[in-house]
Amino acid sequence: MAISLTVNGTTHTVDVDEATPLLWVLRDVLDLKGSKYGCGSGLCGACTVHINGVATRSCVTPVAGVGDSAVTTIEGISQNPIGQKVQEAWLEIDVAQCGYCQAGQIMSATALLEKTPKPTDADIDMHMSGNICRCATYNRIRTAIKAAAGEPVKKEA
């Protein structure tokens, strides 16, 4: 069925079954490959997007439920000043190893900083523990979030 969807400020009409997860519409219909498939069950966070600013697992979000909410993906997050800061911090700290989960990490980190501009370690633990990094770049993700929050960066070693 034809479904209207607003992604990164652009409205699209897609012809898919209404139960199709948003993730697969983004990836295979709209060709936005930045949101990643990791678990298909909302367990790993690789597919995280924002829906009306709220970090959401797109792999378990039926496309028909999105309605006229604004979807933001990693491809559009630099339009958000906080998102841009997060991306810059990720580059500055050289966070990624394989990089596959990092789009989801950046989306979750941006949502965290929007609500909590100066997060503590406990805030970071709470808000980032839904995003798995199999390469375990967690030390650097923590540093990058703090850098994006404007805190001084401590040398690693």
Partner 1 sequence: MNFDHTASRRSFLKASAATGGGLLLSFKLAPLGSADATTGEAALSAFIRVSPDGIVTIAAKNPEIGQGIKTSLPMIIAEELDVDWKDVRVETADVDAEKFGVQSAGGSTSIPRNWDNMRRVGAAGRQMLVATAAKALRVPESELTTASGKVIHAASGRSLTYGALADRAAKEKAPDLAKVTLKDPKTFKIVGVATKDVDGPSIVHGKPLYGIDVSVPGMLYATYEKCPVFGGTVKSCNLDDVKNVPGVKHAFVVQGTIPPGEVGLNVGLSGGVAIVADTWWQASVARRTLRIEWNLPDSATQSSQGFAARAAQLAKQTPEVSIRKDGDVDAAFKGAAKIIEASYSYPFLSHATMEPQNSTAHFKDGKLEIWTPTQNPANGSAIITRTLGLAAKDVTIHMVRAGGGFGRRSSPDAMLEASWIAKEVGVPVKLVWTREDDMRHDCYRPGGFHNFKAGLDAQGKLIALSDHFVSYGKNGQFASMAMMGSSTFPAEFVPNLSLGTSLMPLGTPTGPLRAPGSNALAFVFQSFLDEVAHASGRDPLDFHLDLLAERRIATAAPAAGGAPVFKPERMSAALKLVAEKAGWGKRSLPKGTALGLAYYFSHQGYVAHVAEVTVAANAPVAINKIWVVADVGGHIVNPSGAVNQVQGAVLDGVGQILGQEITIAKGGVVEGNFDTFPLLRMRQAPPVEVHFLKSEANPTGLGEPALPPTLPAIANAVFAASGQRIRDVPLNKVFRSGAAA
Interacting residues toward partner 1 by CB under 8 A: 16-17, 20-21, 24, 28-29, 31-41, 43-44, 46, 73-75, 78, 87, 90-91, 94, 96-103, 106, 124-126, 128-142, 156-157
In whole angstroms, how close is the CB of 130 to partner 1 at the nearest point? 8
In whole angstroms, how close is the CB of 26 to partner 1 at the nearest point? 10
In whole angstroms, how close is the CB of 91 to partner 1 at the nearest point? 5
| Cα 73 from Cα 55, distance rounded (Å) | 10
User: Which of 141/149 has CB closer to partner 1?
Assistant: 141
User: Which of 94/118 has CB closer to partner 1?
Assistant: 94
User: Which of 6/78 has CB closer to partner 1?
Assistant: 78
Sign of CA dihedral 59, 50, 112, 75: positive
Contact 76, 106 (CB under 8 A): no
Contact 34, 99 (CB under 8 A): no
Q: Nearest Cα to 106, choosing from 36, 2, 156, 155?
A: 36
In whole angstroms, how close is the CB of 89 to partner 1 at the nearest point? 9
User: Which of 73/80 has CB closer to partner 1?
Assistant: 73
User: Which of 55/133 has CB closer to partner 1?
Assistant: 133
In whole angstroms, how close is the CB of 74 to partner 1 at the nearest point? 3
